Amino acid sequence: MPLTVKMSELNGNEKLFYLQNSLPTASFNPRTIQTGDLMLYSSTCVVLFYESFSTPYTYTRLGGITNPSGLASAVGTGSVNVTFEITD
């Protein structure tokens, strides 16, 4: 870390990026996605959610944004470069 990737738009509520290699998974259904959730779909798709909504899908939680206010406007409607960092 830090890691910068180009994330693509999907469904008007999330940005995604496919990894070259699989990560270990511990999938669960969160029932509700929260704005700022950072999840792994399957074992190679990193997803950053910028809107809250109910979901039937399963994900592995990677982390999240502590203060996601303004996230939707920051990421916009198309592809965006996102830098991930670990903070205290």
> Greater confidence, 25 or 3?
25
Single-letter amino acid, residue 63: G
- Nearest Cα neighbor of 24 from 42, 37, 2 is 42
Cα 16–chain centre separation: 6
* CA atoms of 69 and 19, how far apart (whole Å): 27
Q: What is the pLDDT of residue 87?
A: 77
74 backbone φψ class: left, alpha, beta (φ>0; ψ -120 to 50): alpha
pLDDT digits (tens, 9 = 90+) for 7-60: 999 999 999 999 999 999 999 999 999 999 999 999 999 999 999 999 999 999
Q: What is the pLDDT of residue 33?
A: 97
